[in-house]
Amino acid sequence: MSIIGQNLLLQNVEYLTEETKFGAWRRYLYPTGDLFEEFVSHWQVMGMPFLHYTRGKCPETGKRVVAKGFIAIGRFAFGMIAIGHVSAGVIAIGQLAIGFLLGIGQASTGIFAIGQLAISVLAGLGQGAVGNVIICQFGFGNFVLAQFGFGPHVWDMRRSDPEAMQLFGPLFGE
């Protein structure tokens, strides 16, 4: 039950492999105790595995494997739903989340974005945010609810635009 490959030092790499009814696991335990593992589902959606999960560095290349699937989970992830430190997809969750529809992370982008730095097309929520309708501490947008906001309709510590108050007022029962 193992696959033998060659790494950059031309040493044999023996993976522990396991086939399940859902997909295939490939694992390698380094002598240091570090673990590399990868799961690829048998099911496919639009030519991609339904689920692709990676963890650790590949013993053959010494690099991280990019998770690519409909649902992608790994340090680097690319998919319809991507979860990872650096992720890109229709819905992206991670430290750096580049989402088309939704980004959630420390730095995020998308039509909707949530994060410390949220750059959105329509609506954003974050410590710093840019977008059409945003709620943040510091922000630039069309309708802004912030501690310090900039734009045509701002409700912040300095001013209370009537249109911003009308939009955001229901959040406070007004």
Whether residue 10 sits in one domain with residue 70: yes
The whole-number pLDDT of residue 9 equals: 54
Residue 91 inside a domain? The answer is no
Check whether residue 132 and residue 63 sit in a common domain: no
- Whether residue 117 is found in the same domain as residue 75: no
29 and 80 within one domain: yes
Tell me, yes or no, whether 116 and 54 share the same domain.
Answer: no
By C-alpha distance, which of 105, 42, 95, 96 is closest to 70? 42
Residue 86's DSSP bridge partners are: 76, 96
Whether 170 and 135 share a structural domain: yes
* 62, amino acid identity: G
Residue by residue, DSSP assigns 49-86 as: ESEEEEESB-TTTSSBPPEEEEEEESSEEEEEEEESSE
* Residue 104: inside a domain: no
Residue 36 lies in a domain: yes
**What's the token pair of residue 111?**
């039509």
- Domain containing 144: what range? 111-174
Please give the pLDDT value at position 106: 96
Report residue 144 as tokens. 């802004």
Q: How many domains does the chain have?
A: 2
pLDDT, position 13: 81
- Predicted TM-score (pTM) of the model is 0.87
pLDDT, tens only, 82-116: 999 999 999 999 999 999 999 999 999 999 999 99
Q: Is residue 105 part of a domain?
A: no
Integer Cα distance of 166 and 63 in angstroms: 52
Let me know if residue 66 belongs to a domain. yes
- Residues forming a β-bridge with 130: 119, 140
Q: Are 68 and 116 members of one domain?
A: no
Beta-bridged to residue 73, according to DSSP, are 53, 83
Round to whole Å and give the CA distance between 36 and 54: 8
pLDDT by residue for the chain (174 residues), tens only, comes to 444 444 555 567 889 899 999 999 999 998 889 999 999 999 999 999 999 999 999 998 889 999 999 999 999 999 999 999 999 999 999 999 999 999 999 999 999 999 999 999 999 999 999 999 999 999 999 999 999 999 999 999 999 999 999 999 999 887
76 domain residue, yes or no: yes
Distance CA 1, CA 29 (A): 15
At residue 15, the 3 state secondary structure works out as coil
Residue 93, domain member (yes or no): no
**Spatial distance between the Cα atoms of 108 and 65, rounded to a whole number of angstroms:** 22
Could you tell me if 8 and 75 lie in one domain?
A: yes
Quick one: pLDDT at residue 10?
58
In a domain, 27, yes or no: yes
